[in-house]
Amino acid sequence: MTNLEQYKAQYVNQNIQFVVIDFDGVIVDSDQTFMDLNKGDYIYDVHPFFTSYSAMLESLDETITYNCVHIEFLEKEFITDVKMIKKDNGILMVIYDLTDHYISYQSIAQARNESIINSEFVILKNLELEERERFKNAFIRNFSHELRNPLTGIISITNVIEGTNLTSEQQQMVSFLKESNSNLRLLLDDIMSLSMISSGKLQLRDKVFNLYELLQLIEFTYRTKAAKKSFDFVLNYDKKVPEFVEGDRLRLFQIITNLLDNAFKFSEKGEVALTVKLNQKRANKVSIRFKVSDNGVGIPKEQIDSIFESFKQLESISKQQGSGLGLSIVKGLLELMDTSIRLESTVGQGSEFYFDLTLKFPLDLASKPILKNRSTDTGISQTHKGRKFKLLMVEDDERIQTVLFKALMDTNLFYIDLVNDGALVFEQVTNNDYDVILMDIDLPNIPGDHLTKLIRDFPFKNIKNIPIIGITANAFEEQINEYLSIGMNAVMTKPFDLQELVETVLKFLKK
């Protein structure tokens, strides 16, 4: 033998076994390379795989190869490729032992499959969480929608009752009723805010506004509140802070008042202070620190992280006034403004909540907004003196009809027509010359937003341009924007303030 043949015998032939069987499956010959087979035995008794020799007999193929077949023989496992070749007197089986090769393939396949399965589970888990979040938000949305209608009725009717002749006992009950209404309304607003923040639906609306005016309003409100309690409210503000800044005034107001309400809730003595300080001014940007400090009960260290979680709050201070959602709202709003709330607190001494906010401010003083003269109702009624206006009220809820009717009639400025079905509006509008329409959105047959579109598309100017004020229980900003974009002049959300409603109607009256 040459060297090469020796090597081949040593390294290759060791792993290849030749077996010959007859057409009945009886072993005729075997070279016994790695399995000792007895001549005369049935091959299918060696391992069930070999029953496939019978398929070979039925097949037209002369050669069939089976790859990666596991064969257990005398408690040892071989992973093999098996070639079956038809011969004149039987079948030749060539069995390649490729165990080492296939074992390394097995470990690769194992890692690959495991990682695919794991990532599938992560995706499924996320989908499930998103689904839950969606369900939660939809639930809150529907729930608050459903609550707003009856609440509007209750608030409005309470206001009507308040204006009638009442005994002092009845007056007391009405004022209790009003307080409960307003708490309920605040709670509802908080839940909505939180739902909008967590679903990413809340968008900041940055505009130039007068920060000093905002602070003065806060000072006035909380001085009054503090006067009723036995502590002081102090506002400290740095004169270097610009008077006009660009930001979302409403949300900043919400953040500060939530922090102050929280401080008031937990204070019994000393003072609550709001401090507004300039950090730095660069180009047209200014960083301002807002700090609310109190001499209240303080917060234990271990609770500091959890007090911003909405449900923790609900649990621990459920006996306190308010929804307890204020701090979660603060946290969410500040995150939207790319900053965060920070807190230092000592039990028994008090707490300090603070945040740094970067705002743009106009360098050019000419860009100061022109302060609009607020139109008071006396102002308006003087402008329109001696004239009455034709108003169409489209509303199907009888409670709201009653309340609106009374509030509008009390001004003595309107002739009012009432329609309670969307399908009847168009006829009414084309046959009358209305100065303004109050339009509910949820109407039988044709919804109010649809009607508004139809009116705005009308060819005649006197109809096309009638001012339309929408009334809706749907307080979501995107929805309100949609109503405005299809042509409503203003949208009032339920529960609304009657005074505000009358002012809005007067503001948009057809000139």
| Least distance to another protein, CB of residue 68, Å | 2
Q: Which of residues 84-143 bind another protein (CB under 8 A)?
A: 102, 105-106, 109-110, 113-114, 116-117, 120-121, 124
Q: Mark residue 487 as left, alpha or beta (left: phi above 0; alpha: psi -120 to 50; beta: remaining).
A: left
Residue 327 CA: distances (Å) to CA of 33, 232, 381:
79, 22, 43
Between 48 and 300, name the residue whose CB sits nearer to another protein. 48
* 2 φ/ψ angles, rounded to the nearest 5 degrees: -75, 165
| Least distance to another protein, CB of residue 123, Å | 9
Element containing residue 343 per DSSP (H, E)? strand 342-346
| Least distance to another protein, CB of residue 326, Å | 39
Between 111 and 314, name the residue whose CB sits nearer to another protein. 111
Between 25 and 326, name the residue whose CB sits nearer to another protein. 25
Between 84 and 288, name the residue whose CB sits nearer to another protein. 84
Q: CB within 8 A of 213, min separation 6: which ones?
A: none
Pick from 56, 49, 54, 108: which is nearest to 77 by CA? Answer: 49
Q: What gap in Å lies between CA 9 and CA 27, rounded to an integer?
A: 24
Q: What gap in Å lies between CA 222 and CA 228, rounded to an integer?
A: 10
Of 18, 44, 143, 308, the one binding another protein (CB under 8 A) is 44
Which token pair is 397? 């809820």
Chain centroid offset of residue 460 CA: 42
| Least distance to another protein, CB of residue 209, Å | 51
- Count of residues in contact with another protein, rule CB under 8 A: 32
Between 52 and 287, name the residue whose CB sits nearer to another protein. 52
| Least distance to another protein, CB of residue 104, Å | 10
DSSP tally for the chain: helices H, then strands E: 16, 17
Question: Judged by CB under 8 A, does residue 65 bind another protein?
Answer: yes
Q: What gap in Å lies between CA 95 and CA 47, rounded to an integer?
A: 13
Q: What gap in Å lies between CA 256 and CA 277, rounded to an integer?
A: 14
| Least distance to another protein, CB of residue 39, Å | 18
Q: What gap in Å lies between CA 293 and CA 372, rounded to an integer?
A: 34
Of 17, 19, 25, 491, the one binding another protein (CB under 8 A) is 25
Under DSSP, the state recorded for 13 is G
Angle at 271 between CA 265 and CA 272, to 5 degrees: 55
Binding mask 437-466 for another protein (x = CB under 8 A): ------------------------------
* 282 φ/ψ angles, rounded to the nearest 5 degrees: -145, 135
Which token pair is 373? 């003269």
| Least distance to another protein, CB of residue 70, Å | 5
| Least distance to another protein, CB of residue 141, Å | 25
Question: Judged by CB under 8 A, does residue 49 bind another protein?
Answer: yes
Between 56 and 333, name the residue whose CB sits nearer to another protein. 56
Between 59 and 172, name the residue whose CB sits nearer to another protein. 59
Of 3, 4, 58, 164, the one binding another protein (CB under 8 A) is 58
Of 5, 8, 23, 70, the one binding another protein (CB under 8 A) is 70
Q: What gap in Å lies between CA 219 and CA 205, rounded to an integer?
A: 24
Between 111 and 138, name the residue whose CB sits nearer to another protein. 111
Q: What gap in Å lies between CA 247 and CA 150, rounded to an integer?
A: 34
Binding mask 189-228 for another protein (x = CB under 8 A): ----------------------------------------
Q: Which long-range contacts (CB under 8 A, 24 or more apart) does 427-435 make?
A: 428/392, 429/392, 429/455, 429/463, 429/466, 430/463, 432/390, 432/392, 433/390, 433/462, 434/390, 434/391, 434/392, 434/466, 434/510, 435/389, 435/390, 435/391, 435/466, 435/467, 435/509, 435/510
Under DSSP, the state recorded for 173 is H
Is residue 10 within 8 Å of 91, Cβ to Cβ?
no
Between 65 and 462, name the residue whose CB sits nearer to another protein. 65
Between 59 and 230, name the residue whose CB sits nearer to another protein. 59
Of 9, 12, 55, 314, the one binding another protein (CB under 8 A) is 55
Of 21, 35, 79, 276, the one binding another protein (CB under 8 A) is 79
| Least distance to another protein, CB of residue 12, Å | 21
Between 56 and 154, name the residue whose CB sits nearer to another protein. 56
Between 25 and 153, name the residue whose CB sits nearer to another protein. 25
| Least distance to another protein, CB of residue 43, Å | 11
Between 31 and 130, name the residue whose CB sits nearer to another protein. 130
Q: What gap in Å lies between CA 362 and CA 221, rounded to an integer?
A: 28
| Least distance to another protein, CB of residue 260, Å | 48
| Least distance to another protein, CB of residue 60, Å | 11
Q: What gap in Å lies between CA 479 and CA 389, rounded to an integer?
A: 29
Question: Which residues here bind another protein, judged by CB under 8 A?
Answer: 25, 42, 44, 47-49, 51-52, 54-55, 58-59, 64-70, 79, 102, 105-106, 109-110, 113-114, 116-117, 120-121, 124
